[in-house]
């Protein structure tokens, strides 16, 4: 009798959605590594990987297999449980954030509404923020459990960079929250319906330009990407928090970084660039079958995400790296005051418009 | 510093415009082995021992190439021409053994310049790879070019 009372359709629908989103995240992250090498090469007057399959498209497969075949070394004097837990935690928090992003509008199948969002909680933005903060734990545990003072120093630097820029990110999100009035990501996207409404753009990029700018800079710092890639460069140069890792644990650290990049792009596209909305979507919704409309929305979201990922890559291969004190100075002395000023201006404009 | 320099944004945009501009320029990569870079006509590659127009070996084992070689890569042993071998060798002395150690050779071309009989010549072939050190000592049979009249099909 219990079996008949469970809503099977709901469970199956959610399981299928979760599987598809995970596969897409992993696939996009794998091909982001390919894209990174190609974009880096094209900007440097050379062609990137071109031999593993046509255009080098099987290169991520080759890299993954190479990492699998390497020897799995766990240092003897390390704390083994935490050693294995570090990269796992990093990867889990990277994948968990994809649960609250609305990937498309809801549609009907057999009389039931299916929404393309795994969990439509009403504190979506807060959830993302919390999970991203948890990701810092992965780095810290990785550095601590290696039992190596240089790894520890590097992971401490990475963690301090992450928490410094989280503050500015949070304050810019508060300003966005004042404009939208809701933390739920589905509502934020629905407020950005279409492109033009009553004389002003609907996307929050136009209502919060300074907030977007601060959010982008803080995203670079959170993802440990150039020009804020001090932890990453240290690992390539001498020591770093993933020095002692080999084979698939190292693979998880590196891969989780690309998944984080994919998810950050998705969040920026959702919060500031309208998610799956595009100009002219009402005309399309009225004139094409529903499944085609949903597909077009998802495609538009993917295009926006890919554009952001390309932007991340362009900036990485253009700018030199920040020194550690310059990085801290920027985070605490420049971005936090700027974010506070943004919040004050937003509050003032809202009060003025309401009166 | 000016305000523009302090906030760093104009410099970032200028840098981005340079790198994005490079996307549309011609790439410098040569997709070997489909495309090859052209060599100049005086490229110094693998050695050959020449023959004259009638197919007789030019080398007389005079030893000038071995003397000129700065890496001491060439060794040879001379032998006297017997009565019936007029069509094989030009002069009375010929090289019975002629070996070049390719691992010592620096491809400078001094042996080619020193030879008075135009026997040694550096061609355009790049030296191929191999597995053992012994196989890099090229003997006379490896170096001699094919007979122009008897082995025409090998051209």
Residues 6+ apart with CB under 8 A from B15: A318, A319
CB atoms within 10 A of CB A97: 24
- The CA distance from A240 to the nearest CA of chain B, in Å, is 28
- The CA distance from B35 to the nearest CA of chain A, in Å, is 14
Residue B6 lies in a domain: no
Q: Would the CB atoms of B20 and A315 count as touching at under 8 Å?
A: no
- The CA distance from B45 to the nearest CA of chain A, in Å, is 28
Which among A25, A237, A245 has a CA at the least distance from the CA of A141?
A245
Name the CA radius of gyration of chain A, rounded.
Answer: 22
Q: Would the CB atoms of A42 and B23 count as touching at under 8 Å?
A: yes
Average pLDDT over residues A282-309: 89
Q: Which residue in this structure is represented by tokens 């690309």?
A: A258
Of B7, B15, B19, B33, which to mutate for an interface test with A (greatest number of A Cβ within 10 Å)?
B19
Of A37, A41, A318, A319, which to mutate for an interface test with B (greatest number of B Cβ within 10 Å)?
A318
The CATH number covering residue B118 comes to 3.30.70.3270
Q: Would the CB atoms of A45 and B28 count as touching at under 8 Å?
A: yes
Residue B114 lies in a domain: yes
- Give the three-state DSSP class for A213: helix
Rounded to 10°, the helix A247-272/A80-96 angle is 30
Q: Would the CB atoms of B12 and A318 count as touching at under 8 Å?
A: yes
Q: What angle do CA A30, A203, A183 make, to 5 degrees?
A: 75
B19 near A CB under 8 A: yes
Residues 6+ apart with CB under 8 A from B72: B66, B104
Q: How far apart are the first and last CA of chain B?
A: 72
Q: What is the pLDDT of residue B155?
A: 44
In B, minimum Cα distance to A334 occurs at B7
Which among A92, A84, A95, A35 has a CA at the least distance from the CA of A248?
A84
Q: What is the pLDDT of residue A1?
A: 67
- The CA distance from B7 to the nearest CA of chain A, in Å, is 9
Q: What is the DSSP string of B33-99?
A: TTS-PPPPTT----EEE-B-TTS-B------HHHHH-TT--EEEEEEE--TT-TTTBSSSEEEEEEE
DSSP letter at A334 equals I
Q: Which of A44, A314, A319 faces B20 most closely, judged by CB atoms?
A: A314
Q: Would the CB atoms of B22 and A43 count as touching at under 8 Å?
A: yes
Residues 6+ apart with CB under 8 A from A10: none
Q: How far is CA A159 from the centre of its chain?
A: 17
Q: How confident is the model at residue A202 (pLDDT cuts 50, 70, 90)?
A: confident
Residue B52 lies in a domain: yes
Does pLDDT of B154 surpass 50? no
Domain count, chain B: 1
Chain B partners of A318 at a C-beta cutoff of 8 Å?
12, 15-16, 18-19
Residue B42 lies in a domain: no
Q: Parallel, antiparallel, or unpaired for β B47-49 and B93-101?
A: unpaired
What's the rounded Cα separation, in Å, for the pair B61 and B40?
30
B6 near A CB under 8 A: no
Domain boundaries along the sequence of chain A: 2-354
Percent of chain A residues topping a pLDDT of 90: 32
Of B16, B17, B33, which to mutate for an interface test with A (greatest number of A Cβ within 10 Å)?
B16
Residue B135 lies in a domain: yes
In A, minimum Cα distance to B27 occurs at A45
ipTM score for this prediction: 0.77
- Give the three-state DSSP class for A203: coil
- The CA distance from B3 to the nearest CA of chain A, in Å, is 13
Residues 6+ apart with CB under 8 A from A94: A135, A256, A259, A260, A263
Chain B partners of A316 at a C-beta cutoff of 8 Å?
none
Chain A partners of B29 at a C-beta cutoff of 8 Å?
46-47
What's the rounded Cα separation, in Å, for the pair A115 and A354?
34
Domain carrying residue B147: 47-154
Q: How far apart are the first and last CA of chain A?
A: 58
Residue B41 lies in a domain: no
Q: Do A154 and A231 form a contact (C-beta atoms < 8 A)?
A: yes
Q: Which of A46, A315, A319 faces B28 most closely, judged by CB atoms?
A: A46
More confident residue, A148 or A88: A88
B12 near A CB under 8 A: yes
Side-chain half-sphere of A125: how many Cα atoms within 13 Å? Answer: 24
Q: Which of B12, B16, B27 faces A46 most closely, judged by CB atoms?
A: B27
Q: Do A256 and A90 form a contact (C-beta atoms < 8 A)?
A: yes
Q: Do A49 and A31 form a contact (C-beta atoms < 8 A)?
A: no
Q: Parallel, antiparallel, or unpaired for β B120-122 and B137-138?
A: unpaired
Residue B5 lies in a domain: no
**Alpha-helical regions (H) of A44-148:** 59-69, 80-96, 124-145
> pLDDT averaged over chain A?
87
Which among A351, A199, A341, A216 has a CA at the least distance from the CA of A272?
A216
- How far is the CA of A257 from the CAs of A1, A89, A116, A313, A322, in angstroms? 46, 12, 25, 13, 19
The predicted-structure confidence for A8-41, as pLDDT tens digits, reads as follows 888 888 899 999 999 999 999 999 999 999 999 9
Residue burial A239-259, b: 16+ Cβ < 10 Å; e: rest: bbbbbbbbeebbbbbbbbbbb
The predicted-structure confidence for A205-256, as pLDDT tens digits, reads as follows 888 899 999 999 999 998 888 788 887 776 666 667 777 777 788 888 888 8
Residue B127 lies in a domain: yes
Q: What is the pLDDT of residue B151?
A: 60
Chain A partners of B31 at a C-beta cutoff of 8 Å?
47, 50
- The CA distance from B57 to the nearest CA of chain A, in Å, is 46
Q: Parallel, antiparallel, or unpaired for β B47-49 and A107-109?
A: unpaired
A→B interface, C-beta within 8 Å:
42-47, 50, 314-315, 317-319
More confident residue, B6 or A224: A224
Q: Parallel, antiparallel, or unpaired for β A200-201 and A196-197?
A: antiparallel
Chain A partners of B25 at a C-beta cutoff of 8 Å?
45
The predicted-structure confidence for A63-110, as pLDDT tens digits, reads as follows 889 988 988 888 887 778 888 888 889 999 989 988 889 998 888 877
- The CA distance from A222 to the nearest CA of chain B, in Å, is 19
- Partners of B140 in beta bridges: none
Of A43, A56, A315, which to mutate for an interface test with B (greatest number of B Cβ within 10 Å)?
A43
């Amino acid at each position: 009798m219990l079996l008949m009372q469970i809503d099977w359709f709901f469970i199956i629908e959610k399981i299928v959605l979760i599987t598809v989103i995970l596969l897409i995240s992993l696939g996009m992250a794998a091909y982001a590594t390919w894209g990174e090498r190609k974009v880096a090469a094209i900007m440097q007057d050379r062609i990137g990987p071109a031999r593993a399959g046509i255009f080098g498209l099987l290169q991520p497969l080759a890299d993954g297999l190479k990492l699998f075949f390497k020897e799995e070394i766990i240092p003897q004097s390390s704390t083994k449980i935490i050693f294995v837990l570090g990269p796992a935690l990093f990867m889990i928090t990277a994948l968990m954030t994809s649960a609250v992003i609305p990937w498309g509008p809801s549609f009907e199948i057999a009389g039931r509404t299916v929404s393309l969002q795994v969990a439509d909680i009403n504190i979506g933005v807060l959830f993302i923020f919390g999970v991203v903060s948890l990701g810092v734990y992965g780095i810290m545990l990785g550095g601590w459990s290696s039992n190596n003072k240089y790894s520890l120093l590097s992971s401490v630097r990475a963690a301090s960079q992450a928490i410094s820029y989280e503050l500015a990110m949070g304050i810019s999100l508060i300003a966005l929250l004042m404009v939208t009035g809701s933390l739920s990501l589905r509502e934020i996207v629905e407020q950005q319906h279409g492109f033009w409404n009553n004389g002003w753009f609907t996307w929050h990029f136009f209502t919060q330009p300074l907030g977007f700018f601060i959010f982008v800079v803080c995203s670079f710092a959170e993802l440990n990407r150039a020009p804020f890639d001090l932890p990453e460069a240290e690992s390539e140069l001498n020591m770093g928090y993933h020095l002692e890792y080999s084979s698939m644990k190292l693979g998880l650290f590196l891969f989780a970084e690309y998944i984080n990049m994919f998810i950050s792009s998705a969040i920026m596209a959702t919060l500031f660039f309208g998610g799956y909305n595009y100009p002219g979507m009402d005309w399309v919704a009225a004139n094409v079958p529903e499944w085609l409309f949903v597909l077009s929305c998802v495609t538009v979201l993917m295009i926006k995400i890919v554009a952001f990922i390309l932007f991340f890559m362009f900036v990485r291969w253009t700018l030199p790296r920040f020194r550690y004190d310059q990085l801290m100075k920027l985070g605490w002395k420049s971005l936090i005051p700027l974010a506070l000023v943004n919040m004050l201006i937003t509050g003032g404009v809202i009060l003025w418009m309401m009166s | 510093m000016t305000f523009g320099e302090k906030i760093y944004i104009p410099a970032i945009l200028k840098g981005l415009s340079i790198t994005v501009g490079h996307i549309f320029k011609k790439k410098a990569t040569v997709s070997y082995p489909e495309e090859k870079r052209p060599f100049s006509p005086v490229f110094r590659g693998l050695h050959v021992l020449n023959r004259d127009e009638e197919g007789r070996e030019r080398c007389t084992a005079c030893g000038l190439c071995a003397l000129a070689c700065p890496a001491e890569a060439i060794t040879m042993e001379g032998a006297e021409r017997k009565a019936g071998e007029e069509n094989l060798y030009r002069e009375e002395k010929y090289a019975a053994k002629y070996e070049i150690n390719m691992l010592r050779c620096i491809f400078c071309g001094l042996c080619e310049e020193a030879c008075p009989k135009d026997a040694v010549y550096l061609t355009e072939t790049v030296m191929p790879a191999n597995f053992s050190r012994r196989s890099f000592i090229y003997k006379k049979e490896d170096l001699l070019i094919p007979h122009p009249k008897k082995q025409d099909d090998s051209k």
